[in-house]
Amino acid sequence: MNRFETALVHAGRDDFREAGVHAPPIDLSTTYPVADLDQGTASFDALVAGQASAANPIYARLHNPTVARTESALARLEGTEACVAFGSGMAALTAVLMARRAHGGHVLVVRPLYGTSDHLLASGLCGIEAEFVDADEIAARLRPDTALVIIETPANPTLDLVDIRAVVAAAGAVPVLVDSTFATPVLQNPAALGARYVLHSATKFLGGHGDVIAGVVCCEEPLAQPLRTVRAATGGLLHPLAAYLLHRGLPTLALRVERAQANAREIAARLAAHPQVARVFYPGLGTVRNAALAETQMRGPGALMAFEMVGGHRAAAMVMRSVALMTPAVSLGSVDTLIQHPSGLTHRVVSAADKTANGITEGLLRLSVGIEHVEDLWADLAQALDRAAADGCQKAA
């Protein structure tokens, strides 16, 4: 079997020689001719029922060959039988929640996690009751109608790590979903640790260039079929052009993650020594919950970190205003470095009490380190920190 780096380049390309192509083709058809009605009817029934393919794609909402190739590649990278791609990470999570409703209306969730995921779960919009618990409470909080356990590790934005094996053991027969967006399959494979669903906001590292919005769920084929049925009914299919961009970016994923991680290790160490920074949250420094998992469950600490500014909100806002090379923007995992304020942006929809309980303060900034030269990144960040200090942000505001 090919090693991971080789699979990154070649996965999802099994039919290229037969098709006579070298680069991934893009099929933009919205509909497909049905010359044989009986075959068309059978294909329609198969796709609506969640089958991965059929003799005729019928209609792009039901199936697209370009998307299918990308799904095949990602399933290979996560070591699962199947992958189902959606128009965004939130569409992917929504589909899982809708599919699990047939098994019960109760979901256990470990915080922190991405702010919009938190909001969706807390709102009950998908007809489920989300109960937020600590990881060590899962076994005690299971109910007969518990249909899913959800964790995000590393967690957004504090980089807390959650022991996937321990959660799977505590959940018993209840499937566990791991949002592995921060880690990518380069650094972590939750399915190998017992997770039944592996979710990625593919907008982030998998796409890697800030030009595609996508979400994927990697899982066993029996779990994938209901997801495809939901996708077909709700119109959540990933657009083929986005699938093409996602597939095109995969060959460089390991190179991008490894370079960004090397930069992040250095930036985190320098931040930890800076007088304007009260605390750095980074697994590589041992400053997050269960940090040791970065070297056991994971294959490295990753390229994300958060840091608490001396001076609170005022200082954080000054840093965002002062960076020139880094981009002050939400999202993460791009080739360029992004910095943002979780409390005011990605986690703004989370209640103030829940943000406080999970360490999401007004002085917290999240940094997604890119692949630029580390000295250029540090020069930009250091001057922004100095401006915060010069602005009088010397103590918590």
Q: Which residues of 50-82 are buried (b: 16+ CB within 10 A; e: fewer)?
A: bbbebebbbbbbbbbbbbbbbbbbbbbbbebeb
- One-letter amino acid for residue 89 of the chain: G
Distance between terminal CA atoms of the chain?
Answer: 56
61 noted as active-site residue: yes
Q: Is 97 helix (H, G, I), strand (E, B) or coil?
A: helix
> Which one from 69, 179, 228, 244 is the annotated catalytic residue?
179
> Which one from 59, 69, 76, 114 is the annotated catalytic residue?
114
Angstrom distance (rounded) from CA 30 to CA 18: 23
Place of tokens 């070298």: 22
**366 membership: H or E segment, kind and range:** strand 364-368
Angstrom distance (rounded) from CA 55 to CA 40: 8
36 noted as active-site residue: no
Bridge partners for 109 per DSSP: 132, 150
Phi, psi dihedrals of residue 360, rounded to the nearest 5°: -95, 90
Q: Which residues of 309-337 are buried (b: 16+ CB within 10 A; e: fewer)?
A: bbbbbbbbbbbbebbebbbbeebbbbbbb
**83 membership: H or E segment, kind and range:** strand 82-86
How many Cα atoms are found within 13 Å in the side-chain-facing hemisphere of 198? 31
**277 membership: H or E segment, kind and range:** strand 277-281
> Which one from 196, 204, 279, 355 is the annotated catalytic residue?
204
59 noted as active-site residue: no
8 A C-beta contact, residue 285 and residue 269? yes
Bridge partners for 327 per DSSP: 338
> Which one from 13, 61, 299, 348 is the annotated catalytic residue?
61
| Active-site amino acid positions | 61, 114, 179, 204
